């Protein structure tokens, strides 16, 4: 009755990391930061009860975080509460800041966000980047970065890192743009072309848009699919509050899901991909319009005025989105779908056909589809806040750099 | 320049769990078990170097695991090695066992697997379960479970839990079959109908098949899509070594990804779903055959004999699978696709058109597609081994029950 033994595979990444006192301290520092960030201002006692450690243990951690400039004491709590008044803690408004940048097809943008999630400095430049080589684009971006960093430093902040959103696929090194067809970039290492002063992270704009939705949106579920667009169609999959990257870092390519298997050829090698029906250029073509600079503005304006061709083109794009999302919802079973980025501006004309297509292809209740409140700025905010998130996740690493 | 602060969302599940000495001990016990399971037999010194703890700390943990009957000492290592001979450790062949069960459309199966991954007892019964009510089916299954448990106990094992694979959607409580259309079951709580002696887990057969592939397969990547079939088509998504469940526990419904948006109506409410082209019944229909009991055997036999209708039907099913998988690969960017369960028996006739469809729809190298070596027994083995995995993940919990 005995079969040959199967060799079991090793457990996850935790296997080789010993669980040490030092690691425990780092994780507990992070718990304190996350708790104060999400629920503060809070007293030390409230933090202790939230994370289940003793008041004494929390005080030691809090003192360390205050010394590093990551937490601030706001002074005694207002009277009238029961017990000895404690001093309320908040994340610092003068400590590290996240610098976010976006390379768009028609614009460049940079902002600085403090630990509290407030935008403290911002710079935008409209410039056609299509088929412009990376060097001049990133020289322009560097200028904006220096301007925003100087402004943030004037406000008493210091940049903890730089995160850049790009309209393309990024390799797993989080530095190299593997393919950005609408910029004409391929295998471009942004690390060589941006200021070396800051730790750098590069990611797809749809990914940062989804993270902004997760971290800063109102009532965003922890399992959702975020769909955005800038010429191409991008999506990002968030599972239990974490971004799904995929093996090469290319997950979320909703734009190349086949919608009509015998449809028109696509640059990706496929046929009848969603992008051929719902990409900005496909919609403009279907509406008989020329692709110009402010494509979403043009479509939204015409649709608003009741242009029948534009409304029909957007209706058909919504239907195609509904078919592709039916497949995605069946595979991923998300709690919801969020339309963000440029798509949020077109939502009024896309949503009716999108929702009805999803509903008629689903036996039970259809997956709810909502529109991002952050709009086109989501990816930029998500990039900046990803740096802040890094500080909350491992405050000890930042404290060592202070 | 200051914008209203965004309220940051709390961090993941770790937020409310304090990091205590007790938790650290539990996690380190698990690391020792996983290390010995994956790489044993190993000396205490080798375990210590693998997990980065001191030899003394590891010895304390090992002694505890030996007392609980989870590890065994195999006696002194063979001479000729450098240094003082240590006693090699292995996971126990006489401790806890995982009991796995499968409710198939045409069969019931149960097996017991020890900590080493060896099948130590097994029972199978061929019985048509289609549209049979849950009570008699689970009464039959209970009889098989008692037989296998008795046999395992005769071998000195004790059942640590029961895991049941079903051809349907299972609710997040991991007990209730929400919908199993090919059994005709709906909202059936299996907990009430199976022996209460053992901790119970119920899951979709595709999920257990994927886990078997992950844990027991040779060279399976940590990011993959597992596709299987039993009348319906199921899939399971494994991301970084973990199963993707979805919001309701329904992720992986590849069978209802639209392949031809205007194709035939499907029971799910959709049109032109993959199941309408590549499900067992669709293939039998396309080949002009009647659905009987051993559907895969019938198709494989005819294809083997060169039956042109069957070969054409399987070729077309492979094409439809290729279209649906193109979408899935674009969304998930897995390292590979594995055909398992009943599909593995039809792979020789499905793979050529499946692979060529995937390749012609992909600009770069296409996602590799392989066939499970575990074959139709994957889900049963995966169910049983999931119980073993639970023991390796938290040996302290089992030790408390000894």
Distance from CA of B60 to the nearest CA of A (A): 15
Percent of chain A with pLDDT over 90: 66
* Nearest of B309, B246, B323, B236 to residue B277 by alpha carbon: B323
- A402 — pLDDT class (breaks 50, 70, 90): low
Within the 23-42 window of chain A, which residues sit less than 8 Å (CB to CB) from chain B?
A: 24, 27-28, 30-31, 34-35, 37-39
User: Which numeric CATH code is attached to A22-91?
Assistant: 1.10.10.10
* Cβ <8 Å between A34 and B15: yes
Distance from CA of A305 to the nearest CA of B (A): 31
Percent of chain A with pLDDT over 70: 92
Q: How far apart are CA B392 and CA A199, in angstroms?
A: 38
- With CA atoms as reference, the chain A residue closest to B37 would be A8
pLDDT at position B68 is 92
- With CA atoms as reference, the chain A residue closest to B236 would be A331
Q: Which helix (H) or strand (E) holds A187?
A: strand A185-189
Q: Which residues of B touch A240 (CB under 8 A)?
A: 12
**What are the angstrom distances between the C-alpha of A252 and each of A228, A268, B233?**
10, 14, 23
Q: How far apart are CA A13 and CA A226, in angstroms?
A: 27
- With CA atoms as reference, the chain B residue closest to A270 would be B361
pLDDT at position A15 is 36
Q: Which residues of A touch B255 (CB under 8 A)?
A: 330
pLDDT at position B329 is 95
DSSP string for residues in A344-400: GGGHHHHHHHHHHHHHHT-SSSPPPEEE-SSGGGHHHHHHHHHHHHHHHH-HHHHHH
In the DSSP assignment, the letter for residue A36 is H
Question: Does B218-373 carry CATH code 3.30.420.40?
Answer: yes
Chain B contact present for A16, CB below 8 A: yes
B316 or A17, which is more confident: B316
* Cβ <8 Å between A331 and B331: yes
**pLDDT exceeds cutoff 80 at A43:** yes
Distance from CA of B178 to the nearest CA of A (A): 12
Residue of B224, B332, B337 to mutate when probing chain A, most A C-beta within 10 A: B332
Instruction: Please name the member of A2, A12, A333 whose beta carbon is closest to the beta carbon of B118.
Output: A2
Average pLDDT of span A97-108: 94
Q: Which residues of B touch A330 (CB under 8 A)?
A: 253-257
Chain B contact present for A331, CB below 8 A: yes
C-beta neighbour count of A288 within 10 angstroms: 10
* Cβ <8 Å between B10 and A360: no
**pLDDT exceeds cutoff 90 at A370:** yes
* Cβ <8 Å between A361 and B270: yes
Q: How far apart are CA B174 and CA B187, in angstroms?
A: 12
pLDDT at position A225 is 95
Distance from CA of B28 to the nearest CA of A (A): 7
Residue of B55, B333, B380, B393 to mutate when probing chain A, most A C-beta within 10 A: B333
Chain B contact present for A326, CB below 8 A: yes
Instruction: Please name the member of A9, A51, A332 whose beta carbon is closest to the beta carbon of B16.
Output: A51
Distance from CA of A203 to the nearest CA of B (A): 15
CA B124, B126, B131 angle in degrees (round to 5)?
125
Q: How far apart are CA B210 and CA B215, in angstroms?
A: 9
- Is the Cβ–Cβ distance between A134 and A103 less than 8 Å? no
* Cβ <8 Å between B24 and A28: no
Fold match, A22-91 / A96-210+379-401: no
**pLDDT exceeds cutoff 90 at A341:** no
Fold classification of A96-210+379-401 (topology level): Nucleotidyltransferase; domain 5 (3.30.420)
In the DSSP assignment, the letter for residue B217 is S
* Nearest of B241, B273, B240 to residue B254 by alpha carbon: B273
Buried b (16+ CB within 10 A) or exposed e, B47-67: bbebbebeeeebeebbebbee
Domain ranges of chain A: 22-91, 96-210+379-401, 218-373
Within the 214-243 window of chain A, which residues sit less than 8 Å (CB to CB) from chain B?
A: 214-216, 220-221, 223, 235, 237, 239-242
CA B219, B224, B229 angle in degrees (round to 5)?
100
Q: Is A232 helix (H, G, I), strand (E, B) or coil?
A: strand
3-state SS string for A67-111 = HCCCEEEEEECCCCCCCCCCEEEEECCCCEEEEEEEECCCEEEEE
Chain A contact present for B80, CB below 8 A: no
Q: How far apart are CA A222 and CA A218, in angstroms?
A: 12
- A166 — pLDDT class (breaks 50, 70, 90): very high
Chain A contact present for B4, CB below 8 A: yes
Question: Does B20-76+85-91 carry CATH code 3.50.50.60?
Answer: no
**pLDDT exceeds cutoff 50 at A12:** no
| Pairs across A and B, CB distance < 8 A | 257
Instruction: Please name the member of B3, B249, B257 whose beta carbon is closest to the beta carbon of A330.
Output: B257
DSSP string for residues in B100-151: EEEE-SSEEEEEEEETTS-EEEEEEEE---TT--HHHHHHHHHHHHHHHHHH
Block means of pLDDT (10 residues each) for chain B, length 402 residues? 43 45 87 93 92 91 94 72 67 94 94 96 93 94 97 95 94 91 91 91 93 89 88 88 89 94 90 93 91 84 96 97 96 94 90 95 87 90 96 87 65
Instruction: Please name the member of A4, A333, A361 whose beta carbon is closest to the beta carbon of B269.
Output: A361
* Cβ <8 Å between A361 and B221: no
Peptide bond into A81 cis (omega under 30): no
pLDDT at position B3 is 41
- A35 — pLDDT class (breaks 50, 70, 90): very high
* Cβ <8 Å between B34 and A24: no
* Cβ <8 Å between B253 and A35: no
- A4 — pLDDT class (breaks 50, 70, 90): very low
Chain A contact present for B56, CB below 8 A: no
């Amino acid at each position: 009755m005995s079969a040959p033994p199967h060799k079991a595979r090793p457990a996850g990444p935790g296997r080789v990391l010993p669980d040490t006192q030092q690691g425990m301290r780092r994780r507990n520092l992070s718990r304190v930061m996350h708790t104060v960030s999400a629920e503060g201002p809070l007293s030390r006692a409230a933090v202790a009860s939230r994370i289940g450690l003793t008041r004494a243990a929390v005080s030691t951690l809090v003192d360390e975080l205050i010394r590093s400039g990551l937490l601030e004491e706001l002074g005694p709590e207002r009277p009238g509460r029961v017990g000895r008044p404690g001093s309320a803690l908040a994340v610092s408004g003068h400590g590290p800041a996240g610098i976010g940048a976006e390379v768009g097809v028609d614009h460049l943008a940079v902002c600085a966000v403090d630990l509290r999630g407030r935008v403290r400095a911002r710079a935008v430049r409209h410039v056609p980047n299509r088929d412009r080589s990376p060097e001049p684009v990133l020289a322009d971006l560097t200028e904006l970065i220096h301007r925003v960093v100087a402004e943030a430093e004037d406000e008493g902040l210091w940049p903890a890192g730089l995160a850049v959103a790009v309209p393309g696929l990024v390799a797993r090194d989080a530095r190299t743009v593997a393919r950005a067809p609408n910029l004409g970039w391929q295998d471009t290492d942004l690390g060589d072309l941006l200021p070396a002063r800051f730790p750098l992270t590069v990611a797809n704009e749809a990914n940062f848009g989804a993270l902004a939705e997760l971290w800063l949106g109102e009532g965003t579920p922890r399992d959702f699919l975020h769909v955005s667009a800038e010429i191409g169609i991008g999506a990002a999959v968030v599972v239990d509050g974490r971004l799904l990257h995929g093996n090469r870092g290319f997950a979320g390519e909703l734009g190349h899901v086949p919608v009509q298997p015998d449809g028109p050829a696509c640059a990706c090698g496929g046929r009848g991909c969603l992008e051929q029906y719902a990409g900005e250029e496909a919609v403009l073509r279907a509406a008989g319009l020329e692709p110009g600079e402010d494509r979403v503005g043009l479509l939204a304006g015409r649709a608003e005025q009741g242009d029948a061709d534009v409304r029909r083109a957007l209706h058909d794009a919504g239907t195609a989105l509904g078919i592709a999302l039916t497949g995605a919802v069946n595979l991923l079973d998300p709690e919801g779908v969020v339309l963000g980025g440029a798509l949020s501006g077109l939502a009024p004309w896309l949503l009716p056909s999108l929702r009805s297509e999803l509903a008629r292809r689903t036996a039970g209740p259809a997956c709810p589809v909502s529109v991002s409140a952050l709009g086109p700025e989501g990816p930029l905010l998500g990039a900046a806040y990803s740096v802040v998130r890094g500080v909350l996740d491992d405050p000890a690493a930042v404290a060592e750099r202070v």
